[in-house]
Amino acid sequence: MNEPLATELLRKYSRGECSAAEVQLIESWYQELIKTGELEWAEGEQESFQDTGEQWLMQQMSAADVPASPVRHMRGNRTLWAAAAMLVILTGAVIYLYNKRPVATTVANTGVLKNDVAPGGNKAVLTLANGATINLDDASIGMVAQQENAKVLKPSDGQLVYSQEGNNEDAALSYNILATPRSGQYQLVLPDGSKVWLNAESSIRYPVTFSGNERRVQITGEAYFEVVHNGKMPFIVEKGDMQVEVLGTHFNINAYEDESAIKTTLLEGKVRTSTMNGQRAILKPGEQVSLSHSSHLSQPIPVQTEDVVAWKNGLFHFENADFKTVMRQIARWYDVDVIYKRNTVKNDPMFVEISRNTRLSDVLKILEESGSAKFSIQGRKVIVK
């Protein structure tokens, strides 16, 4: 069985979509890993973690009559088999355990990290057209501001909604800015009903009402859009030298300054990306285009869109990701600085899926079990040993 097929099987497993035979195959990988001792546990942790994982896997199999033949097919490549077993621990079983177990018990049992950092949450600051700022963490549910003919509402924690009343065609556009800090995220509903999700350390600048022949916004960091269709008023997202033009569609833009490129990924509909120097690319669903720091626009390539938008769905999802990319995401979500004790780190591709509601010590523990590195937490710093 080749690596892409093994990866896809594990993805199905983490989503609860495996057949009975596939669950049996994964359970066999897990048992093999424990039997051979290829997974080393921290002292005092093996029994609770292993027993819980085995109980869960057995529950998945309890109602199925599983044939043994799929297991025999996997015995040809033991290296891949052992690697796949490790992936199982770092996908389905880990998601289950770290979502279900009390966090305090987990931290106490590991005994690895004395300090800890809570995960990020719904945090943002709204800057109004007159420069006044509103900390949305502290704002009460209800109307938080009036901007021209639009009411700015906070219907629930983590969401901001603009309710436009009437037209304002003749007035000059006024802009608001919604910004999340490190360890923050927020959802915005624009005056036209389009939805925007902001990841940590991100921002969007937008008019408080839409008028004229276009809907234009500017972003930093990372944002996911679900744009309401309007054939007469295209929606345009700007970031530096690049703009993305759409009529109505779902897409993600990753534009962090410390990443190697601005990446636009299309989930539904159709978008056209263009640059100041005249480069253009049209994306189809499931494709991604990148703009490098040297202003080179790549050709569209197919990608796994669910990996790209995992952050919006409350997950860290790393599939064939390099170590420093993983650590940059962790640094933003937990508002920590990552300090490398050596100039070089082990950069094997990583395959991990973890809930973003997990405390930092547990995330680092999972990464340690993958063999990537050893960690310690010192205040707001993560030391990579």
pLDDT band at 339 (very low <50, low <70, confident <90, very high): very high
Whether 240 maps to a domain, the answer reads yes
Whether 376 maps to a domain, the answer reads yes
Same domain flag for 146 and 83: no
Same domain flag for 126 and 261: yes
Question: For residue 56, what are the CA distances in angstroms to 6, 62, 100, 101, 356?
Answer: 21, 10, 11, 13, 21
Same domain flag for 143 and 282: yes
Cα Rg for the chain, rounded, in angstroms?
23
Tokens of 42: 């921290």
Cβ-count burial of 275 within 10 angstroms (0-12 exposed, 13-18 middle, 19+ buried)? middle
Of 1-10, 13-22, 217-226, 350-359, where does the model show the most confidence? 217-226
| 241, 272, 306 - which closes a domain | 306
Tokens of 350: 């990583």
Whether 189 maps to a domain, the answer reads yes
Domain count, the chain: 3
Pairing of strands 184-189, 121-122: parallel
Per-residue model confidence (pLDDT) at position 100 = 34
Same domain flag for 173 and 289: yes
Question: For residue 166, what are the CA distances in angstroms to 22, 41, 103, 232?
Answer: 56, 63, 49, 18
Whether 280 maps to a domain, the answer reads yes
| DSSP 8-state code for residue 333 | H
Same domain flag for 152 and 46: no
Per-residue model confidence (pLDDT) at position 173 = 85
Work out the mean pLDDT of the chain and round it to a whole number: 79
CATH number of the domain to which 363 belongs: 3.55.50.30
Q: Tell whether the model's pLDDT for residue 77 goes beyond 70.
A: no
| 3-state class (DSSP) for residue 272 | strand
Whether 197 maps to a domain, the answer reads yes
Beta-ladder partners of 338:
382
| 288, 306, 324 - which closes a domain | 306
Per-residue model confidence (pLDDT) at position 308 = 95
Same domain flag for 136 and 267: yes
pLDDT band at 341 (very low <50, low <70, confident <90, very high): confident
322 C-beta neighbours (distance < 10 Å), count: 13
Tokens of 68: 């043994």
Whether 176 maps to a domain, the answer reads yes
Q: Tell whether the model's pLDDT for residue 221 goes beyond 90.
A: yes
CATH number of the domain to which 160 belongs: 2.60.120.1440
Same domain flag for 254 and 150: yes
Residue with tokens 């979502």: 99
Same domain flag for 90 and 136: no
b/e for 37-54, b at 16 or more Cβ within 10 A? Answer: eebeeeeebeeebbeebe
Q: Which residue has the higher pLDDT, 310 or 56?
A: 310
Same domain flag for 16 and 70: yes
End-to-end CA distance of the chain: 35
Separation of alpha carbons 208 and 174, rounded Å: 6
pLDDT band at 35 (very low <50, low <70, confident <90, very high): low
**Structural domain harbouring 362:** 314-384
Q: Tell whether the model's pLDDT for residue 29 goes beyond 70.
A: no
Look at 132-136, 166-170, 353-357 and tell me which has the smallest mean pLDDT. Answer: 166-170
pLDDT band at 175 (very low <50, low <70, confident <90, very high): very high
Handedness of CA 99, 101, 107, 112 (dihedral sign): negative
Pairing of strands 203-207, 175-179: antiparallel
Same domain flag for 182 and 287: yes
Q: How do residues 275-326 score in pLDDT, each as one tens digit?
A: 999 999 999 999 999 999 888 999 999 999 989 999 999 999 988 888 899 9
Q: How do residues 116-159 score in pLDDT, each as one tens digit?
A: 999 999 999 999 999 999 999 999 999 999 998 899 999 999 99
Same domain flag for 287 and 339: no
Q: Strand runs (DSSP E) across 211-370, as ranges? A: 215-226, 235-239, 242-246, 250-255, 261-268, 271-275, 280-283, 287-292, 301-302, 315-321, 337-340, 350-355
Helix axes 46-61, 20-36, angle to 10 degrees: 160
| 306, 330, 358 - which closes a domain | 306
In contact, 323 and 356? CB cutoff 8 Å = no
**Portion of the chain with pLDDT greater than 70, in percent:** 68
Same domain flag for 135 and 86: no
Per-residue model confidence (pLDDT) at position 368 = 87
Look at 97-101, 234-238, 280-284, 325-329 and tell me which has the smallest mean pLDDT. Answer: 97-101
